[in-house]
Amino acid sequence: MASGQQPKRPAISLDYKRLDVGQGLVCTGASASGNTFSPLAIQSVCEMIYIGPVTLSLPDGPLPEGAVLIDGCHIARVGAAVDIKPPPGSKSFFPPQSTLSPGFLDLQLNGAYGHDFTTSPESIWEVASRLPRHGITRFLPTVITSPPSSISRAIEVLRAGPPEGFQGARPLGLHLEGPFLNPLKKGAHPQDLFRTPDQEPEPSWLNAPQVQMVTLAPELPGAENLVRALSKRGVLVSAGHSVADEKTAHESFEWGISSGTHLYNAMSGLDHRTPGLVAALLETNRASAGLIADGVHVHSAMVRLAFRCKGPDGIYLVSDAMAAAGLGPGEHHLAGMQVVATESSVRLQDGTLAGSNQMLDANLQKLLAWNICSLQDALKTVTTTPAALLKQKSPEIVPGAVADLTVVDRQGRVLACFVDGKDLSNDGTKESETHGTS
Report the C-alpha gap between 351 and 124 in whole angstroms.
28
**Cβ neighbours of 321 (radius 10 Å):** 31
Active-site position among 71, 106, 116, 320: 320
126 Cβ neighbours under 8 A, 6+ residues apart: 113, 115
Q: In DSSP terms, which residues pair with 18 in a beta bridge?
A: 25
Secondary structure (3-state) at 74: strand
Identify whether the C-beta of residue 98 lies closer than 8 Å to the C-beta of residue 84.
no
Q: In DSSP terms, which residues pair with 75 in a beta bridge?
A: 70
Secondary structure (3-state) at 15: strand
Least Cα distance to 172 among 239, 124, 240 occurs for: 124
351 Cβ neighbours under 8 A, 6+ residues apart: none
Our measurement of the distance from residue 246's CA atom to the centroid of its chain's CA atoms, rounded to an integer in Å, reads 27
Distances (CA, A) of 337 to 192, 333, 354, 357: 13, 5, 9, 15
Report the C-alpha gap between 72 and 364 in whole angstroms.
29
Identify whether the C-beta of residue 154 lies closer than 8 Å to the C-beta of residue 211.
no
Identify whether the C-beta of residue 52 lies closer than 8 Å to the C-beta of residue 68.
yes
Least Cα distance to 418 among 426, 14, 410 occurs for: 426
Identify whether the C-beta of residue 208 lies closer than 8 Å to the C-beta of residue 233.
no
Does 294 participate in catalysis according to the annotation? no
Longest dimension (CA), the chain: 73
271 Cβ neighbours under 8 A, 6+ residues apart: 279
Distances (CA, A) of 209 to 31, 97, 262, 389, 406: 12, 41, 24, 16, 28
Q: Between vectors from CA 237 to CA 232 and to CA 243, what angle results, nearest 5°?
A: 135
- Residues identified as active-site: 320
